[in-house]
Chain A
């Protein structure tokens, strides 16, 4: 990298110290406090019974089938929604990139679902798939109570997620598309490459970094899914995600120790995903894109 100039480096640290301080206060402190709480038996209803229990809460969570089931559910939703979003988002990005007329209107229209609040979107799709009030059953000519069975409930949840966040994916990919030099594409065309070849041989390889960053962002986001599931099934029919498990322990059962252990484990999963992307797939944040990844 660049040769380090001590004064410049010091200035650099000085300049980013307010941001570092802010991050420490709003991010590091709550995380460390959650780690601390997770080592205690601590029920908000019986504060006098608070006691240090070491890793017992983690043992309780990790030996529970509820945790592993919810982790598998979260994985299904994450993989399902992110892969669909990638394909559809790429399609939308290409449309937005290549569109010849009404360019701004098209781009604005694509972004509309992303502007809808998640809870509203989740409710709207819940009603759409409702056997009594919904339009999906009549359109498909079926009679199915979608949210009362596991796999069809997953379909509804994943579709809602895809509908809602594909625009975000498309926007990230569009930024990548604009970085592909037109000269290269023209050169490939002169060499006789057709559109499909140009896309797979020129455009995609040049977008690897953007793709990985987009995937990382969406995977981290999808892994923490809460609102869609909470609104549509409340975690019933075996669709419970890790965030809902944490919510039940913390908010419903007021069990701060157990709930914090779940939160810390979710955090560990998120870190693992980020490390996997950065180390395993070599996603890198180039100078312009550098920033905080997930939480």
Chain B
């Protein structure tokens, strides 16, 4: 606008274009004045998934208020799907975007963003405070190479949900669950996640950890995938996919298909995150009356299951113009008070262990003790900057689950994960 105005004036000085240019100039200067004037409040952009209940927005507003005009927070909503959130963020971070101040980071991004230098490490004192009282697995999810890179905010993990009118005692293992479901016949289906996406990686990592194995070795440089546990995990996946108790849509099922099918009443079991509880109570009260929870099934009898941890940690973009303020804001938003708010209003489980004793939180999560116990034993998905490649390698190799051959696929999986770790070839 200004450009065309000034060239017009230079060429042919006419009062109209001159005054227009002056007006534009005045406007620009005026706007600049508002922005750069003395009481300017820096705006921190918080990129986070579009939380539907408004709990995040409320937390951000309260923190800005408490800061006494030091900063304000502008929510920049991202898509609901973690893959697409990452897609949008990493390209901007790779380009050094200074408009990214705060990031609601999925737990699996920490090594990648930290190793690439796209987020800032937390200084010792702040890190100390951010770790205090948090469930250890949530702190681990925000750490990389002995440093803390984000404040654990909300967490999540899967539980086993079952129908008390069809099942008297919840099964302790996958084998027992599949047997029970098959005995129930038409009403006994098991709802799980079998589509080729992150959820399939979660299922495999949880089964493998429950069988006593891990995907990567201790320093994350090579695949571990010990023979016996890997075979056992794969055998469970195959058995589940081929059982008559499993609905035919398993190869395309994500969390939400499982939730909807359970709410429709045809299922006896479901492995899923805690959001299914408020959802069932709101959408299918008749089902919710008979809905109960138990520990995610184990693979080996006597060895408690270890389930992959999820959730959102608050990190600070490396190119922000306000690193100190952003750290302050992140610590404030992730504070216990706002975790309680996110739990009460948004149904997102807190990362601070003591909150699971809070009456308000326990009202939201009647399964609070089980959830905390599961989280305390939770397993991290592979910790490597190449996590996305590794996850792609896992879910591509193991899909569809019905075609898994434990012997052959254990070897294929090791090969695929090794290729991913060394960025070799396509996945």
Contact = CB atoms under 8 A, between A and B. Distances in A.
A101 B115 CA distance: 68
Given A148-B252, A236-B195, A237-B400, A45 B112 contact: yes
Interface in B273-318: none
Contacts, number: 75
Contacts of B249: 131, 145, 148
Nearest to B195: A236
A258 B426 contact: yes
B405 interface: no
Decide if the interface of chain B is mainly helix, strand, loop or mixed.
helix
A67 B94 contact: no
A237 B385 contact: no
Contact of A234 (B115, B116, B197): B197
A237 B327 CA distance: 44
Contacts of A252: 83, 87, 388, 392
B116 A61 contact: no
Nearest to A149: B251
- Between B91, B252, B392, B399, the greatest number of chain A beta carbons within 10 A of the residue's beta carbon is seen for B252
A257 B260 CA distance: 42
B427 A236 contact: no
B13 interface: no
Contacts of B260: 132
Contacts of B197: 234
Contacts of A88: none
A46 B196 CA distance: 27
A236 B248 contact: no
A245 B425 CA distance: 11
A251 interface: yes
B389 interface: yes
Contacts of A147: 252
A254 B388 CA distance: 10
Contacts of B91: 44, 251
B425 A148 contact: no
A43 B424 CA distance: 12
Nearest to A143: B248
B90 A44 contact: yes
A269 B299 CA distance: 48
Nearest to A153: B252
Contact of A145 (B87, B94, B248, B389): B248
B252 A145 contact: yes
Contacts of A262: 426
A253 B195 contact: no
Interface in A34-62: 41, 43-46, 60-61
Contact of A45 (B196, B385, B424): B385
B216 to A, nearest CB: 17
A253 B427 contact: yes
B423 interface: yes
B252 A236 contact: yes
A201 interface: no
Nearest to B197: A234
B269 to A, nearest CB: 19
Contact of A251 (B87, B250, B400, B424): B87
A258 B425 CA distance: 7
B154 to A, nearest CB: 25
A148 B248 contact: yes
A60 B424 contact: yes
- Between B83, B116, B426, the greatest number of chain A beta carbons within 10 A of the residue's beta carbon is seen for B426
Nearest to B260: A132
B90 A254 contact: yes
Contacts of B389: 253
Interface in A224-245: 234-237, 245
Interface string A250-274: 0111110010001000000000000
A43 B425 contact: no
Interface string A113-145: 000000000000000000110000000000001
Interface in B51-99: 83, 87, 90-91, 94
Contacts of A43: 423
A272 B385 CA distance: 38
B425 A63 contact: yes
Contacts of A64: 425-426
Contact of B392 (A61, A63, A67, A253): A253
A107 B129 CA distance: 69
Interface string B365-405: 00000000000000000000100110010000001100000
Contacts of A253: 388-389, 392, 423, 427
Interface string B414-427: 00000000011111
A248 interface: yes
Nearest to B257: A132
A61 B425 contact: yes
B115 A45 contact: yes
Contacts of A283: none
Interface in A134-186: 145, 147-149
A95 interface: no
A148 B83 CA distance: 21
A72 interface: no
Given A145-B248, A148-B249, A248 B424 contact: no
B102 to A, nearest CB: 21
B426 A46 contact: no
A75 interface: no
Contact of B426 (A61, A235, A236): A61
A258 B389 CA distance: 13
Contacts of A234: 196-197
Interface string B173-207: 00000000000000000000001110000000000
Contacts of A67: 426
Contacts of A149: 251
Contacts of A145: 248-249, 251-252
Q: Closest 7 interchain pairs by CB?
A: A236-B196, A60-B425, A45-B116, A66-B426, A64-B426, A148-B252, A148-B251
16 contacts: A44-B90, A44-B91, A46-B115, A46-B116, A64-B426, A67-B426, A132-B260, A149-B251, A235-B196, A236-B252, A236-B399, A237-B251, A248-B392, A251-B87, A251-B91, A253-B392
Interface of B: 83, 87, 90-91, 94, 112, 115-116, 195-197, 248-252, 260, 385, 388-389, 392, 399-400, 423-427
Given A145-B248, A148-B250, A234-B197, 15 more contacts: A45-B94, A60-B426, A64-B425, A66-B427, A145-B252, A148-B248, A148-B249, A234-B196, A236-B252, A237-B400, A248-B427, A252-B388, A253-B389, A253-B392, A258-B425
